[in-house]
Amino acid sequence: MSDRPFLPVAPLMIEHRLTERMIEVMRQKTKQAEETSIPDVSFIDTAVDFVRTYADRLHHGKEEGILFRELAAKPVSDEHRKTMNELVAEHKFGRETTARLVAAKQRHVAGDPNALTDIIDCLFTLTDFYPKHIEKEDRRFFVPVMRYFTPEEQKRMLAEENEFDRRFVHAHYGHVIDEWTRTLGRA
């Protein structure tokens, strides 16, 4: 076993691999919708849930809430600060595009024949965006910024990420159950 510490960006990079797998499925489903002119509404719901829950709340939650927070307190290079700000803006872009996808899906379900074009556009946008975003983080940002942290700081961040994951799962499913309980109360 290596004496080299497990970097706090390693879990983030591992999460990117799962996101890449989902993006590939999204690409295939987008192509299918384009060829058949019939979007898979159930899959869109799954994709939206993945992007909002896994990619944004869980993954970006750790990036922005832990890594970027800690970096903001460090005297980082102008280049790294600029990249960090770009990444935050890209996270916002992903959220906005996902919201547009949800709206287009709702319009489609309501019978809007023009919604298909917007659904496909949003899916193409997301499947084009995420690989570039991931490449920027993995290849040009995550590992280089680790030099700003001592091994002890890295260890604390990794522990905080683990705690974030643990709390997140419980909080997420608590919210899911709360929503279904409210829905049943309205029935």
Instruction: Express each pLDDT in 101-111 by its tens digit.
Output: 999 999 999 99
Q: Each residue of 123-137: pLDDT tens digit?
A: 999 999 999 999 999
* More reliable by pLDDT, 175 or 81: 81
The answer as to whether 3 is a domain residue is no
Looking at residue 166, its pLDDT comes to 87
What domain range is 97 assigned to?
Answer: 10-186
Looking at residue 187, its pLDDT comes to 62
Per-residue exposure over 1-34, b if at least 16 CB sit within 10 Å of its own CB, e if not: eeeeeebbbebbeebbeebeebbeebbebbeebb
* More reliable by pLDDT, 76 or 184: 76
The answer as to whether 1 is a domain residue is no
The answer as to whether 2 is a domain residue is no
The number of folded domains in the chain is: 1
We report the CATH number of the domain holding residue 108 as 1.20.120.520
The answer as to whether 5 is a domain residue is no
The answer as to whether 81 is a domain residue is yes
pTM for the whole structure: 0.87
